[in-house]
Amino acid sequence: MTALTRNELLKMLLKKKMLLILFFLLIFVSLFSYGQQYAYERNLEQFEAETGEELPDWRDLADRRLDDLESRRANESIPENVRTSFDREIQQLTYFIENDINPITPTAFSFNTEFAEQGIVLFIPLLVIILAADLVSGEFSNRTVKILLTRAVPRWKILLSKFLALFMMTTILVFLVAVLSTLVSFLFFGEWGINEPVLTGFTLSEGTLMSDSTILISRWRYTILIYSLVWFVSIVIASITLMVSVLVDSSSSAIGILMAALIGGQFLQFFLADWELVQYFFVTNLDLPRYLTGSFQPVEGMTLTFSILTLAVWAVLSLIIGFVQFSRRDVLV
Amino acid sequence: MYKKIIWPVIVLIASLLALIFLSGFVYSVFITTGDDELPVDEQAVPTDDTTEEPIAGMPEEAIGERSVIDPNPEEWETVLVMGDSLGSGVGDEDGLGFDQRYLELLSQDDSLERELTNISVPGFVSSQLADQLDTGEYDLDIETADLILISIGGNDLNRLYFQDNETMIAEFDETLSAFLSNLESVLTTIRSLNPEAQLALIGLYDPYNLEDQEINRLLLEWNHASRLAASADARLAYIPTYEAFQYHLADYLSDDLFHPNGAGYQTIAESLYQVLN
């Protein structure tokens, strides 16, 4: 089994698809960080042009906001949980003031999470699909599957070894996305922002977003959380891709089917938002990080747990179908 | 050589990363669901604030029928302020708010020592104010107050601003009638405890200076409706702020471009003075 997995892994590496993926990543990350840096500078310029004044010192604004929060906090008629949410904002502001960091400056660590948040519905799944789509279908179109199956191992072991290799590569891919987006954006922004406090932990209660359960955590921890979700999503996409790859004969139709599902899913979400079944489609649930940032419109019944369960069910079903189909399939090539 | 090394390296890195991701994953689930079972204190849901309040007042119609009974500022010893962030003076550089600024104006006329209680909570909408009074916690404050200043409604209306035009217009009537019934409930609560006190309701101004006629019309309609509601009580004064802010937004708004600054609060205090004294 180990030997099989090792064999599969080496096959994936030798195809050099990882290099293609890294190349894509590099281009996109550079473009996005350049764009963000550009937009940031433009905004500053525009502000100065419009108002004819220098940008007000952010520290003044932050100080005033801090005073304001503190005086509000001292108000006895404020309920306890509102007070704690003030406390968290005070803490956050104090950090920025003490460390002399303007909260709106883009930093490498805020970029890498933003990149993940934006990329998780389309771009990162696309990379995983490139990685996985030809795993099985490629063996058929190259006719190498005969050689693979003539070995004295059960078919399920062969597919399992492929899945394990894919699992490892996907994990490494997610890590590379994180590392590349951090490093490249650091070149543009020149700030790490590694310890900035971030607000997270929003909960839903009776259909409203609750901010009083939030906690402050530092940027790098937050990055790990976001990328953990990205990782989960990637593994789910990898499982689904593996199934499609078993079902169709050529890698290009595998990629086509999956891209159509991803893009079509976005449309579905947009046009049929009221249709309850759409909630159970995997594409609708890909955007997990939004539950952490609290930047989502609460939809009835959609919570992080719900999305994760839906995705997990899709992954497990895909694997089952994939394994069953692969074991039964007639190999005629 | 490459093949020999790469395999253990990849296995090691991948399992390590998988472990980290898995724990991060579990933690994310934990923090977003951890508090789910906690009972939610309804009254305490005000959002962080950006979604807060004001929009103010309405001027034109003459100060009509009210004040059958002349207010007697000389006798007001206890002042109570309730409502949203406007009531608590958010945005005022000196932290005074219109209440303290008004008392300063009063103290120029006489030397009476006045006691001020402020129970405003930034972010409050009208239903939260009604609930706050219903708890009975402030009954004593209401009973003993001679003058009660109320600033409410800005957050109710401001919530609508975040929607697109059509939804907003459709929901406007609903929000307004909910606001009016909450206002009525607030006034009934106050009057059942204290039939004598002089009340004042601060009108809404428009912090956005919108060119959109439709939205402006809705704001004026809102002010008009609250003014009509106020006229039912002879000792309830409506304090217009819309006109005062209309052409002076830049001078009267604080840095958040939503709450008044010191000068803005001073204007509200002066309107109070004009109407009540």
B33 compared with B137, residue with greater pLDDT? B137
Identify the residue whose tokens are 């209440």: B99
What's the average model confidence in pLDDT over B50-60? 37
What's the average model confidence in pLDDT over B230-241? 87
How far, in whole angstroms, is CA B189 from its chain's centroid? 19
B190 shares a domain with B160: yes
Contact of A45 with chain B, judged by CB distance below 8 Å, is answered with no
Which of A301-310, A319-328, B1-10, B200-209 has the highest average model confidence (pLDDT)?
Answer: A319-328
What's the average model confidence in pLDDT over B31-52? 44
* Number of separate helices (H) and strands (E) present in chain B: 10, 5
Q: How confident is the model at residue A178 (pLDDT cuts 50, 70, 90)?
A: very high
What's the average model confidence in pLDDT over A7-26? 86
B146 shares a domain with B87: yes
Assess whether pLDDT exceeds 70 at residue B34.
Answer: no
Nearest by CB to residue B25, choosing from A10, A205, A232, is A232
> Which pLDDT belongs to residue B220?
87
> Which pLDDT belongs to residue B248?
83
Residue B157 CB-density burial (10 A; 0-12 exposed, 13-18 middle, 19+ buried): buried
Give bridge partners of residue B238 from the DSSP assignment.
Answer: B201
CB-CB under 8 Å, B32 with A303: yes
> Which pLDDT belongs to residue A301?
67
Note the ipTM here: 0.78
B232 compared with B238, residue with greater pLDDT? B238
Q: How confident is the model at residue B165 (pLDDT cuts 50, 70, 90)?
A: low
Domain count within chain B: 2
Assess whether pLDDT exceeds 70 at residue B56.
Answer: no
B160 shares a domain with B101: yes
B135 shares a domain with B60: yes
Q: How confident is the model at residue B45 (pLDDT cuts 50, 70, 90)?
A: very low
Assess whether pLDDT exceeds 60 at residue A272.
Answer: yes
- Read off the tokens for A73: 């906090």
Contact of B67 with chain A, judged by CB distance below 8 Å, is answered with no
DSSP-assigned letter for residue A247? H
> Which pLDDT belongs to residue B5?
82
B118 shares a domain with B28: no
> Which pLDDT belongs to residue A240?
94
Tens digits of residue pLDDT in A282-317: 888 888 888 887 666 656 667 788 889 999 999 999
- Read off the tokens for B160: 């609508």
Which residue range(s) make up the domain with B34? 1-38
What's the average model confidence in pLDDT over A198-212? 66
> Checking DSSP bridges between strand A203-205 and strand A208-210, what pairing results, if any?
antiparallel
What's the average model confidence in pLDDT over A207-211? 61
Secondary structure (3-state) at A82: helix
Assess whether pLDDT exceeds 90 at residue A243.
Answer: yes
In contact, A94 and A66? CB cutoff 8 Å: yes
Tens digits of residue pLDDT in B207-228: 877 667 777 788 888 898 888 8
In contact, A172 and B17? CB cutoff 8 Å: yes
Query: What is the rounded end-to-end Cα distance, in angstroms, of chain A?
Result: 25
pTM beyond 0.80: the answer is: no
In contact, B255 and A64? CB cutoff 8 Å: yes
Tens digits of residue pLDDT in B108-143: 887 778 888 888 888 888 888 888 888 888 888 898
Residues from chain B contacting residue A89 (CB–CB below 8 Å): 48
CB-CB under 8 Å, A81 with B44: yes
CATH number, domain of B254, equals 3.40.50.1110
> Which pLDDT belongs to residue A299?
65
CB-CB under 8 Å, B17 with A171: yes
B59 shares a domain with B30: no
- Read off the tokens for B7: 């395999």
Nearest chain A residue to B255, by CA: A61
B174 shares a domain with B75: yes
> Which pLDDT belongs to residue A250?
85
- Crossing angle between the packed helical segments B213-230 and B154-161, to the nearest 10 degrees: 160
Q: How confident is the model at residue A229 (pLDDT cuts 50, 70, 90)?
A: very high
How far, in whole angstroms, is CA A250 from its chain's centroid? 28
B192 shares a domain with B258: yes
- Read off the tokens for A75: 């108000």
> Which pLDDT belongs to residue B50?
36
Assess whether pLDDT exceeds 70 at residue B51.
Answer: no
> Which pLDDT belongs to residue B55?
39
What's the average model confidence in pLDDT over B155-170? 73
In contact, A239 and A170? CB cutoff 8 Å: no
B240 shares a domain with B116: yes
What's the average model confidence in pLDDT over B167-175? 78
Residues from chain A contacting residue B17 (CB–CB below 8 Å): 171-172, 174-175, 231
Query: What is the rounded end-to-end Cα distance, in angstroms, of chain B?
Result: 94
A138 compared with B1, residue with greater pLDDT? A138
Assess whether pLDDT exceeds 60 at residue A47.
Answer: yes
Mean pLDDT of chain B: 79
Share of chain B above pLDDT 70, in %: 82
Q: For residues B261 and A68, give the distance between their C-alpha atoms in angstroms, rounded to a whole number.
A: 12
Residue B52 CB-density burial (10 A; 0-12 exposed, 13-18 middle, 19+ buried): buried
Share of chain A above pLDDT 90, in %: 24
What's the average model confidence in pLDDT over A127-137? 89
B242 shares a domain with B194: yes
- Read off the tokens for A297: 């419109």
User: Chain A: nearest CA to B106, how far in angstroms?
Assistant: 24
In contact, A182 and B29? CB cutoff 8 Å: no
* Across A7-21, A152-166, A264-278, B76-90, least confident range: A264-278
User: Chain B: nearest CA to A332, how far in angstroms?
Assistant: 32
> Which pLDDT belongs to residue B124?
86
> Which pLDDT belongs to residue B162?
63
B163 shares a domain with B26: no
> Which pLDDT belongs to residue B59?
37
B227 shares a domain with B129: yes
What's the average model confidence in pLDDT over A169-190? 90
A–B interface: beta-carbon pairs under 8 A = 133
Residues from chain B contacting residue A211 (CB–CB below 8 Å): 47-48
